[in-house]
């Protein structure tokens, strides 16, 4: 395991070994020796969103984005059989929650949580983008404008204007009815940010 005081970079690169700013490359190579190569099997697995009304949230994500409900809603609690892992994750003050598992086309999941003990509260400021951590999730949609209209029709809101990115792509920021910030874009991440053949500088696109 690499320690936080592993040293200072610049002691020589090791072919095939990724670099870290504060860790000498030979030490990284030694730590990785014999370990399986890290790999993502099937891409991004799921995102979990906290909501204040689970039943409404399930219907909202089904109607707006066409997600499929796989499991739930169901309840978990700290004193019920099987509640141990959740208590370990959420800590001593956690008591209970309701959960639903939905899935997008392609297999990426959305977990919806309504915490009931303590009771879920909507954030006063839900877009602290300058603080570390996740500050939005993004959906690839067929039509950004039409999806933004569906979001507002079903009780969410459009946070930004629709902006162009690249020669033929559009995006905007919205919110679900519970204050979770959602980006809409009409191309995949790879389509958006892979430079055209022969172009090495993305800013030149």
Tokens of 23: 């860790």
Buried b (16+ CB within 10 A) or exposed e, 42-70: eeeeeeebbbeebebbbebbeebbebeee
Question: What pTM does this model have?
Answer: 0.81
SS3 at position 43: coil
Looking at 3.30.70.270, 3.40.50.300, 3.40.30.10, 3.10.180.10, the CATH number of the domain 42-121 comes to 3.10.180.10
Per-residue pLDDT of the chain (205 residues; tens, 9 = 90+): 333 333 344 445 666 666 677 777 777 777 777 777 777 777 889 999 999 999 999 999 999 999 999 999 999 999 988 888 999 999 989 999 999 999 999 899 999 999 999 999 998 889 999 999 999 999 999 999 999 999 999 999 999 999 998 888 999 999 999 999 999 999 999 999 888 787 665 554 4
Domain boundaries, the chain: 42-121, 122-205
Please state which CATH number belongs to domain 122-205. Answer: 3.10.180.10
């Amino acid at each position: 395991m690499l320690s936080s005081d592993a040293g200072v970079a610049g002691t020589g690169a090791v072919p095939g070994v990724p670099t870290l700013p504060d860790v000498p490359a030979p030490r990284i190579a030694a730590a990785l020796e014999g370990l399986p190569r890290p790999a993502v099997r099937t891409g991004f697995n799921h995102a979990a969103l906290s909501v204040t009304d689970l039943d409404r949230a399930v219907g909202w994500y089904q109607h707006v984005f066409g997600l499929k409900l796989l499991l739930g809603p169901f309840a978990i609690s700290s004193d019920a059989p099987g509640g141990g892992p959740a208590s370990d994750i959420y800590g001593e003050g956690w008591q209970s929650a309701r959960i639903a598992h939905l899935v997008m086309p392609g297999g990426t999941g959305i977990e919806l949580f309504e915490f009931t003990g303590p009771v879920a509260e909507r954030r006063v400021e839900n877009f602290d983008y300058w603080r570390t951590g996740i500050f939005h999730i993004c959906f690839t949609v067929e039509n950004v404008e039409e999806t933004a209209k569906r979001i507002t029709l079903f009780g969410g809101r459009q946070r930004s204007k629709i902006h162009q990115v690249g020669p033929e792509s559009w995006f905007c920021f919205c919110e679900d009815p519970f204050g979770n910030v959602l980006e809409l874009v009409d191309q995949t991440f790879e389509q958006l940010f892979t430079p055209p053949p022969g172009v090495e500088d993305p800013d030149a696109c």
